[in-house]
Structures are given as C-alpha cells and as structure tokens.
Homo-oligomer: A and B are copies of this chain.
C-alpha cells in the first residue's frame, strides 16, 4: 500500500532498531480519513471471501477494525480484552500471551456470546511482530469452532517471527506493508 509507506516514512519515528512509533496517525492520534483508506484496502484484499465478523484486540486495533467494518457492510466487530489475571469463568474463551515488548504474560479474552460456531472471522490488528496476540486470537476462534478466514495487519515487521509462524500454520495473512528492517531508516519489502 503505497500511501501507507509514504505515511510511515513521513510520520513514523524509529526507536532503537526495533520499534516504529506511528502514534501520529494509528496508535494514539488517529487519522480517520487515512483509516478509511486502510479499511478500503483490507476489503480489497478479502473481497472474494465471505466474512461474518471482525475480531481485533484492544486498544490500537479497535479504530482500524471499526472503520474497516464499514467496507464489509457494517459487520459486527468484537474486540478481545487484555487482562492481567483472569478468574476462571465458563462464559469466556481465553488464551495466554507473552509480550516480548513488556516482558509480561497476560490473558486475552472474548465472551462466548460473541463468537459463534461456523462464523467466518477476519482478524485485524495494527502491528505484527512476534505474532503472539494474533496467535491468541486464532486460538480463541478455533476454541469457538469458528473459521479463521484470514488475518489483515496494517504494519508487518517481517524481520520478526510472527508472519512466518502464521503463514507456516496455513493461514492467509495480508499485511498492508512489510518492513524488512528498522536499522536507522525504514526499509520495506517491495
């Protein structure tokens, strides 16, 4: 997605050689017109698929998923919640995530009411790095006996393991841009 590459080059800030901050339009301040372009592009990538629902994760995935849903006929969006420690509860699906960024383990949860057997679900998130959050969402969808249609990511950090792990497991992954390295400057995979 060419306009996204330009936006990242113009507004993204590299921290260390690993972290790309896009707080200016995606993670803290939201550029709503640009999120609409992102939503259109996600629809384009999945136009041949039947999708009943979008699953994302709080907090940065929510705006992207909500705006994108408008290009899929306003299908429901469910956002998974992150919780430090989960009380055992029959009414939820949950999966454990280890965050390498924060060096903590947390639980991701979705109420059983909001994912139903055989539903066709598209996962949307802002970043893909180690893929832990996406793998937890896949786990939750499969526990619910629903169908993972695919995963759409705004920014894939291809030098980390997430994309490889997801593709190796046989899932359709559509990242709008893929970053080869962040060593001083942003290099994309063309």
> A28-B111, A28-B114, A69-B32 in contact; A77/B63 too (CB < 8 A)?
yes
Our pick among B24, B31, B78 for the contact of A28 (Cβ within 8 Å) is B78
Find chain B residues with CB under 8 A from A74 CB. Answer: 32-33, 36
Let me know if A76 is at the binding interface, CB within 8 A. yes
Find chain B residues with CB under 8 A from A4 CB. Answer: none
Our pick among B24, B62, B111, B114 for the contact of A63 (Cβ within 8 Å) is B62
A: interface residue count bin: 20 to 34
* CB contact list, A11-27 vs B, under 8 A: 23-24
> A23-B111, A67-B67 in contact; A32/B62 too (CB < 8 A)?
no
* CB contact list, A55-85 vs B, under 8 A: 58-59, 62-63, 65-67, 69-70, 74-79, 81
**Cα distance A113–B21 when bound, in Å?**
13
Our pick among B28, B69, B70, B79 for the contact of A79 (Cβ within 8 Å) is B28
